[in-house]
Structure 1
Amino acid sequence: MKQLVIKDMRLLKIINLVILCGGILFGYIGVSIDHIYKSKLVYGFAMFIMVYIVSMFSTQYDVKGKTDMMLNSFPVDRYDIVKSKYISMGLYILFITGVVFLSSNISRIIFSTTISGNPATIWDVSFIIGLSLVFFSIYLPFHYYNVGKAQAFNQIFYIILIILPNVISKFSKKIENTEIFQGIINMDWKIVILMFVSIGAIMYLISLQISKNIYKGKEF
């Protein structure tokens, strides 16, 4: 199991470096923005886009390297193969959110005389963890059912991620002045986020069982 997780990490070694550098950069950019909602948007988008990048490149490397065929030629339990993927993706979620969180908070301390923005909070990180768990809960069963469908899912999601920031930027001032937005802001977000993370974790565990059953009956 441990070796399978390490295998996933090694396949993405260049991406690991990109995530590290990107996380540090976006952590600094977010805390340098003196607008609480815009800075949170930067943190959230940066963390989630990096989670998406991991899913995209992980699938591409598995396809190019014919990983499934190779692993199934060895005496490895199929359940362990699936579990290792879920563990490695979970570790990537923690790594990505952790880098951005630390970068923003450390940058706020080091550059306290020149920047006065808001560093990422544990609640910002928790929200993205919950969102990422939901994303992978949907994505990974596609990955094991049909790689082509997983890649199609990635392409559709990529279009959404490209369009969304432009839409938010264009209508941000109008959105901020609406009663709905003010109502959302005044919600008890700590409870909402805790519930969201719990739902994400439950979905992730259910998704693991679904992927196990899909992979068990797959032929190579």
Structure 2
Amino acid sequence: MKNLMLKDIIIAKKSFWIGMIINAIFFMSWGYYGKLSIFINTICIIIFIFMYVEGSNLYDDLHKSYMIIASLPIKRSDIVKTKYIQVPIYLVIGEAEMIIIYFIMKYLEIYKYSPLCINFKIILINIIGILIYYAVYYPIYFKVGSRYTKNITSIIFMIVVLLPTIILKILKKHPNIDIAKSLMSFTNYKGILIILLCVISAFIVSFKISQSIYIKRDLQ
């Protein structure tokens, strides 16, 4: 299983610097809009994880590496487990990437970011969102492969990229709206942690479902 994870990480590492550049551009483009800064971390982490996970999955489908792996003495349940373990790993790497970019920009004094960019509450919300998405995504992926899921992912990716522009237009029409203040007052740590525990449970259930699907799947 370690070798499977290493294989995916080696494939995905090609996206690391691309992700750094794209996310740095997002920080520079939108970070100075105070009311948008709350979304920067979320948008960047989604971009980062999409690039890593989808890049690895598409590579497997393109080169049919899943058929080669299936012919090796490796349990299919371990293949599924590897994919699920990678999600929290990429989350940690992605958040670390955001913090690195934040402090590089701050050190270079390009401009000052809102502390909300790396707010712990926002990080927890990011984790919840990503876990929910992949709890739904992976059972479908293990059923039909990324050739069929990539279109859905591409649409979601485009929505995420366009989200700052959409939010900015809304704020221009309603300048008195303080999204950051509203979100921070609406959410509290206790509620977020309860939701997080529920989502983790759903993620585990999704893992079991994916294992069952992939064990029975005909890879021909």
TM-score (norm. length: structure 1): 0.84
What is the CA–CA distance in structure 1 between the aligned matches of 2:194 and 2:174, rounded to whole Å?
25
Query: Is 1:116 aligned with 2:115?
Result: no
What is the CA–CA distance in structure 2 between the aligned matches of 1:20 and 1:178, rounded to whole Å?
31
Output the amino acid matched with 2:148: K
Aligned to 1:91: 89
Contact 2:76 2:215 in 1 (8 A): yes
Larger mean Cα displacement after TM superposition, 41-50 or 189-198: 189-198
Q: 1:92 to 1:184 in 2, by over 3 A?
A: closer
Contact 1:175 1:181 in 2 (8 A): no
Deviations 1:30-74 (A, max 9, x none): 895261x31122222111122222232222111112121011110
Q: Secondary structure at the match of 1:177?
A: coil
Query: Is 1:205 aligned with 2:204?
Result: yes
Q: 1:115 to 1:164 in 2, by over 3 A?
A: closer
What is the CA–CA distance in structure 2 between the aligned matches of 1:51 and 1:159, rounded to whole Å?
14
What is the CA–CA distance in structure 2 between the aligned matches of 1:161 and 1:180, rounded to whole Å?
17
Contact 2:138 2:206 in 1 (8 A): yes
What is the aligned counterpart of 1:141 among 139, 142, 147?
139
Contact 2:143 2:214 in 1 (8 A): yes
Percent identity at matched positions?
Answer: 22
1:139 Cα deviation from its structure 2 partner: 1.0
Q: Secondary structure at the match of 1:57?
A: helix
What is the CA–CA distance in structure 1 between the aligned matches of 2:10 and 2:151, rounded to whole Å?
25
TM superposition outliers: structure 1 runs of 4+ over 6 Å: 179-182
Q: Secondary structure at the match of 1:72?
A: helix
Aligned to 2:39: 41
Contact 1:62 1:68 in 2 (8 A): yes
What is the CA–CA distance in structure 2 between the aligned matches of 1:15 and 1:85, rounded to whole Å?
17
What is the CA–CA distance in structure 1 between the aligned matches of 2:10 and 2:179, rounded to whole Å?
45
Aligned to 1:58: 56
What CA RMSD, in Å, does the superposition of the two structures yield over aligned residues?
Answer: 2.8
1:122 Cα deviation from its structure 2 partner: 1.9
Aligned to 2:167: 168
Unaligned runs of 5+ in 1: none
Q: 1:76 to 1:131 in 2, by over 3 A?
A: same
Output the amino acid matched with 1:9: I
Q: Secondary structure at the match of 2:71?
A: coil
Aligned to 1:82: 80
Aligned to 2:17: 17
What is the CA–CA distance in structure 1 between the aligned matches of 2:154 and 2:103, rounded to whole Å?
33
Deviations 1:92-139 (A, max 9, x none): 11111121024324543x246x63332312222221111111111111
Q: 1:86 to 1:219 in 2, by over 3 A?
A: same
